[in-house]
Amino acid sequence: MNDFKASGNPERWREYDQKHIWHPYTSMRHPLPAYTVSSADGVFLTLDDGRRLIDGMSSWWTAIHGYNHPRLNAAIEEQLKSMAHVMFGGLTHQPAIALAERLVELTARPLQHVFFCDSGSVSVEVAIKMAIQYWFAQGRTNKQRLLTIRGGYHGDTFGAMGVCDPVNGMHQMFSGVLPQHLFAPKPHRDDGTWDDAWIKDFKDLLENHRDEIAAVIIEPIVQGAGGMNIYHAEYLRKFRQLCDENDVLLIFDEIATGFGRTGKLFAYEHAEVVPDILCLGKAMTGGYMTLAATLTSTKVAEGISADGQGVLMHGPTFMANPLACRVGVESIDLLLESPWQERVSNIELQLKKELEACRNLSVVEDVRCIGAIGVVETTIPVEMPWMQERFVENGVWIRPFGRLVYIMPPYIITPEQLSKLTGTMYKVLAEWSERVG
Ligand SMILES: *Cc1c(COP(=O)(O)O)cnc(C)c1O
């Protein structure tokens, strides 16, 4: 086998990386340093200089079982022996069928049909297409807009960008080419109370534009990258009711929240509300391969072809990649065989208890937790490079953004490892309080 290694030494690799490779949301003129990871195992990331970091991010919600899991490794190795990939047009395979069976089984009963795609953003594109095509096929050709709530994040492709928070969504410069969708206010942070007045703006927008709106799209219970907002389940019940009353479909984007992260297998279970279309991704393969899915009800699936010939207009090259599907099957089985509910609820209790101390720091605005998600919101944007380095020096991997320092660790994390994460969050935030006065 060829030695695949980049030429030179670790210092040169870092330089090459900075000079030639974009990382998420970075500049080629002012590149930020990236740490070189040489391996990952359990909850640990090992850097090329030998340092081991406890991972607080699960590689952006994905690595729920930790890294280098023997069962996930074995599944993908086994699949590799029969086939790495085949096209999905006109062909099918057991990994896709087995994964679809599990997704249909685990999600709410009306969701019966699965579209596999290559990333979360694409699954949102597909969900939007499904909704517009559904109404088109019923002759309601004006229903092409979407209604959402501020503070959302649905991905980086154009259709998905169009429903991200218009200010926070990191996409302002594209507003001229994005479809003009409708935005209701950001939902109130959940403090256990509910007031019907909170839904009024949403209701007015929906009722006033019902003839133009194809669907409402939202992240149930937890808004992720748009601000890590946690909101009351009553919102979901109201969204469902208002959508039904106004002939509008309801799309839930559970790309971040799916597969147990909020303490329920899917966040919509907190409200016992079922969407017409559901987007899944991120943790679906336990962090091994990029794969996402858009699920829908028979009503929507058949409705898309109501005019007798309509087909769903999408078909990615790597649709239902067998390696990804096979590891997805294994990840789901592993999750269901594990005491995940107990693990996630223990993590929640510990996060609530241990992050509480952060409230006393002058730079801290709010602390909130749900399931295996712990968020500390700061009063001013964090100094990213400084804070990132402090975390690494303390042996943890936590990647803050904006005014958010947050963790969503692998479910297998031990109480001691979790204390190390929360303790370091407090320590570094306390240092930063001193630093900014
Ligand atoms: C990450 C995310 C997406 C986008 O998924 P990608 O795989 O990054 O394209 C969409 N919606 C939500 C809620 C997400 O958290």
Q: Where are the domains of the chain?
A: 35-65+339-436, 72-337
What pLDDT sits at residue 5? 84
CB 184 within 8 Å of CB 148: yes
Ligand 1 centroid–CA 258 distance in Å is: 11
Q: Which amino acid residue places its CA nearest to atom 10 of ligand 1?
A: 154
Is the CB of residue 220 below 6 angstroms from any atom belonging to ligand 1? no
What pLDDT sits at residue 169? 64
User: Which residue stretches of the chain have pLDDT < 50?
Assistant: none
Distance (Å) of CA 405 to CA 39, 139, 299, 339: 24, 47, 41, 28
Atom of ligand 1 nearest to the CA of 225: 15
Is the CB of residue 267 below 6 angstroms from any atom belonging to ligand 1? no
Which residue in the block uniquely carries the two structure tokens 């858009």?
Answer: 294
- Going by C-alpha positions, the residue among 258, 262, 260 that lies closest to residue 375 is 262
Evaluate whether 35-65+339-436 and 72-337 have a shared fold. no
Ligand 1 centroid–CA 7 distance in Å is: 34
DSSP 8-state class, residue 401: B
Distance in angstroms (rounded) separating the CA atoms of residues 268 and 341? 16
Is the CB of residue 152 below 6 angstroms from any atom belonging to ligand 1? no
- pLDDT single digits (tens) 137-180: 999 999 999 999 999 999 999 999 999 998 876 677 888 888 88
Q: Which amino acid residue places its CA nearest to atom 6 of ligand 1?
A: 120
Tokens matching residue 255: 């790309």
Ligand 1 centroid–CA 352 distance in Å is: 26
Is the CB of residue 119 below 6 angstroms from any atom belonging to ligand 1? yes
Q: For domain 35-65+339-436, is the CATH number 3.90.1150.10?
A: yes
Report CA dihedral (341, 347, 349, 353) to the nearest 10 degrees. Answer: 180
**Cα Rg of the chain, angstroms:** 22
What pLDDT sits at residue 306? 86
Is the CB of residue 322 below 6 angstroms from any atom belonging to ligand 1? no
What pLDDT sits at residue 261? 98
- Phi and psi dihedrals of 214, rounded to 5? -85, -45
What pLDDT sits at residue 187? 98
What pLDDT sits at residue 390? 97
pTM: 0.97
What pLDDT sits at residue 120? 98
What pLDDT sits at residue 4? 80
Q: What is the best residue among 57, 255, 280 to mutate for testing ligand 1's pocket, by most ligand atoms within 8 Å of CB?
A: 255
What pLDDT sits at residue 310? 82
Assigned CATH for 72-337:
3.40.640.10
Ligand 1 centroid–CA 89 distance in Å is: 25
- pLDDT single digits (tens) 177-228: 888 899 999 999 999 999 999 999 999 999 999 999 999 999 999 999 999 9
- Phi and psi dihedrals of 31, rounded to 5? -65, 145
Distance in angstroms (rounded) separating the CA atoms of residues 121 and 359? 34
Q: What is the best residue among 118, 280, 282 to mutate for testing ligand 1's pocket, by most ligand atoms within 8 Å of CB?
A: 282
Distance in angstroms (rounded) separating the CA atoms of residues 266 and 280? 10
Question: What's the 3-state SS for 280-343?
Answer: ECHHHHCCCCCCEEEEEEHHHHHHCCCCCCCCCCCCCCCCCCHHHHHHHHHHHHHHHHCCHHHH
Is the CB of residue 255 below 6 angstroms from any atom belonging to ligand 1? yes
Q: Classify each residue of 181-220 as buried b or exposed e, where b means 16 or more C-beta atoms within 10 Å of its C-beta.
A: bbbbebbeebeeebeeebbeebbebbeeebeebbbbbbbb
Atom of ligand 1 nearest to the CA of 160: 10
Is the CB of residue 409 below 6 angstroms from any atom belonging to ligand 1? no
Distance in angstroms (rounded) separating the CA atoms of residues 270 and 278? 15
CB 221 within 8 Å of CB 270: yes
Ligand 1 centroid–CA 426 distance in Å is: 28
Catalytic residues: 25, 153, 253, 282
CB 334 within 8 Å of CB 65: yes
